[in-house]
Copies of this chain bind each other. A is one copy, B any other.
């Protein structure tokens, strides 16, 4: 609530030059540019141009490009994943205070809520071009990231796991989601001229007796239905958590 991200003096309205640059707007423009040109072409110079400023000026608010990328990752989580986490929290307290009258509240059981959070994270990473790569390359400790993580750990704890297992269960969900979205965006956003992934897989494994298993599942892999892949993998992890819970 109070000056979390912007310890740097807030520009007083009307005093001095109207700053063309501030951290919030810089991140906003950077995310727009990311969607336009992709991570590999997102340079400090291009971003400066998009902000009507020279490249050196960006270093007043971000010490390095990596710091800017971290702020972008934080914004992505805060905008797309944190809302789901927060609606979850309010639904939780409502349910615990009034559990009988709301048989299937808006948030549902722990496993439904864990799934909703995983989907929210996937949605956040897919919301911007190369979002997963930006997220994987940085380590934000901002309110969006921490708020989401707290909610996810909370849901797993609620499932009945002890603290170490809850931490590891949440990590498993995050790591699977990260790996999945990384591959999903790599398969989609590839160079527009390059052959698409399914095509290349077909060519590599199509008529070759050395990989009989890959050949058998080729139709599924070539279909590239990433949502179905995600749903299945997530179900495996959540079923695993259920199994673990019963062993208590």
Q: Contact residues of A with B, CB < 8 Å? A: 136-137, 139, 141, 143, 146-147, 149-151, 153-154, 157, 163-172, 174-180, 182-183, 186, 197, 200-201, 203-205, 210-214, 216-217, 219-221, 228-229, 232-233, 235-244
Is A232's CB under 8 angstroms from B146's CB?
no
Known contacts: A216-B157, A243-B239. The answer to whether A167 contacts B221 by CB under 8 A is yes
How many Å from the CB of A232 to the closest CB on chain B? 4
Is A240's CB under 8 angstroms from B235's CB?
yes
Known contacts: A239-B239, A240-B236, A240-B238. The answer to whether A164 contacts B220 by CB under 8 A is yes
Known contacts: A149-B214, A153-B213, A163-B216. The answer to whether A172 contacts B239 by CB under 8 A is no
Is A220's CB under 8 angstroms from B179's CB?
no
How many Å from the CB of A201 to the closest CB on chain B? 7
Is B239's CB under 8 angstroms from A168's CB?
no
Copies in the complex: 2
Q: In the complex, which of the residues B171, B239, B241 contacts A244, with contact meaning CB atoms closer than 8 Å?
A: B239
Q: Tell me the interface secondary structure of chain A in the complex.
A: helix
Is B241's CB under 8 angstroms from A153's CB?
no
In the complex, A126→B244 CA distance in Å? 28
Question: Which chain B residue shows the least CB distance to A214?
Answer: B150
Besides the contacts A172-B176, A175-B180, what 5 more A-B pairs have beta carbons closer than 8 Å? A141-B200, A153-B217, A167-B221, A170-B217, A243-B243
Of the candidates A213, A229, A240, the one having the most CB atoms from chain B within 10 angstroms of its own CB is: A213
Is B171's CB under 8 angstroms from A233's CB?
yes
Measured between beta carbons, the chain B residues less than 8 angstroms from A179 are 136, 174-180, 182
Q: In the complex, which of the residues B147, B172, B214, B238 contacts A146, with contact meaning CB atoms closer than 8 Å?
A: B214
In the complex, A183→B149 CA distance in Å? 15
In the complex, A242→B243 CA distance in Å? 10
In the complex, A149→B179 CA distance in Å? 16
Q: In the complex, which of the residues B141, B219, B221 contacts A201, with contact meaning CB atoms closer than 8 Å?
A: B141
